[in-house]
Amino acid sequence: MVVENFEIGIIGAGDMGMLYAQRFQQAGYVVNLCDTPERHTELQSKHKDLGLNILRDGYAVSRRSDLIIYSVPAVVINSTVEKYGRATKVGAIVAGQTSVKTPEVQAFLEHLPDDTHIVTCHSMHGPNISTRGQPLAIIRVRSSDEHYERAVHALEALESRMIFLTYEEHDRITADTQAATHLSFISLGTAWSLQGYHPWLNPQFISGINNVKVAMALRIYASKWHVYAGLAIMNPLAKRQISCYVESMTTLYKWMVAGNRQEFRTLIHDAADFVFGRDRSHKKIMLDDDVLQQLSLSQVPDEMSRPNSHLSLLSAAVCWYKMRMSPYDNLVCQTPPFRMWLGIVEYLFCDHEMLEQSIETALEDRYTQAEDLVFYTAVTGWGQCIELGSFDGYRERFEKTAEFLRPKLEQGKDLSTMILKKLTNDEAQASMNK
């Protein structure tokens, strides 16, 4: 049942804005939608059959809507709220959909009239995943009990799994789950680009968890750069984890090439014991071998496969160990890439034979060490870009790599969506059987 006489406005008709608009419209709400004024005619023509009110700009949306959701990139949230916030309807509820909440909340508090209510949110997934059953963070900032209940009731139309947090808790959890995850995947893409070969032609990336690395990297590069830049650059807690990931990889790589075998092994096993338990009993994702094989985009025969050090995964576990952070504590707000990332780290560390092969490959295989040098360079380059807070640099690096990977971007996105949907369905089924 919808909230009566309640119109929902969405400022920003990008992928997530359109996903929200259609879900609310299908639930029975009047939905007012806009993007930038120059896109008004285009949107009217493109979406004329969706039953949405396509308005000229954020002023028009803000004047008539009872719940206004800013679905814009984090980098422009302040300027957008500054521009349209003054037009907010008296007594309206305002929310945002950015992935980093501190600057969003600051913008709302600074630019919105005092007679408005702030109950913001964040769907912890991308636009290619249905909102149904996915985690949805609900954050009460400034509102009466009545308006808070209305906001929650309206957001129930998304059929998501609601998680109630403060905006500080949200930013800590998203930093813990997304910062190093995204850094690793985008760095893999950049390493492939720097070497001038596609991963589906590389004998180190043709099976098992390597398929997941390729598919998820392609998934990210098929998305828009600002989705990842905002979280990495604008969330100070994300920078802390990114710095730890870079330092962890630096330590491991130096020990690899210097031949510090005992130090390397000790650190890996200490990290494994901390994250997964001495008996490796902390497993919760448990990826299926058959599913992993289905993800393959490789054009290289299986018999030509070469071992892989999985330096990206070893560094993740060492990072969690150094930060004294259990990744399983954050599964309540997991994103699809994080679930896959944790899943393949778990898969590696809880398979004694595979982990041993990874360690030996890292320490002894010169070919792998040369390949990992390029990956290490990519990681440190991205780390420096993020530390400097360069949105222009982030965009240039991201789009250059995306162009190199373009031949398989859509296929990779489709394959990763398939595995993520299966994981979601498996999780839902397991919950029903409890």
What's the pLDDT at 431?
Answer: 46
What's the pLDDT at 201?
Answer: 81
What's the pLDDT at 107?
Answer: 98
Helix H, strand E, coil C: the string for 13-30 is CCHHHHHHHHHHHHHCCE
For the chain, percent helix, then strand, then coil, each to nearest 5? 65, 10, 25
State the alpha helices, DSSP H only, in 196-333: 209-221, 225-234, 236-258, 261-276, 289-294, 311-322
**Identity of the amino acid at 193:** S
What's the pLDDT at 227?
Answer: 87
pLDDT by residue, tens only, the chain of 434 residues: 789 999 999 999 999 999 999 999 999 999 999 999 999 999 999 999 999 999 999 999 999 999 999 999 999 999 999 999 999 999 999 999 999 999 999 999 999 999 999 999 999 888 878 899 889 999 999 999 999 999 999 999 999 999 999 999 999 999 988 899 999 999 999 999 999 988 888 777 777 788 888 888 998 999 889 989 998 999 988 999 999 999 999 999 999 999 999 999 999 999 999 999 988 776 676 676 666 666 666 666 666 678 899 999 999 999 999 999 999 887 777 777 888 889 899 999 999 999 999 999 999 999 999 999 999 999 999 999 999 999 999 999 999 999 999 988 888 778 777 777 766 665 545 544 55
Orientation angle between helical segments 336-349 and 167-195, nearest 10 degrees: 70
* Per-residue exposure over 211-242, b if at least 16 CB sit within 10 Å of its own CB, e if not: bbbbbbbbbbbbbbbbbbbbbbbbbebbbebb
What's the pLDDT at 432?
Answer: 44
Residue 375 tokens read as 């990956």
The predicted model scores a pTM of 0.86
What's the pLDDT at 144?
Answer: 98
Strand partners, 163: 137
**Identity of the amino acid at 94:** V
Distance separating alpha carbons of residues 173 and 122, to the nearest angstrom: 12
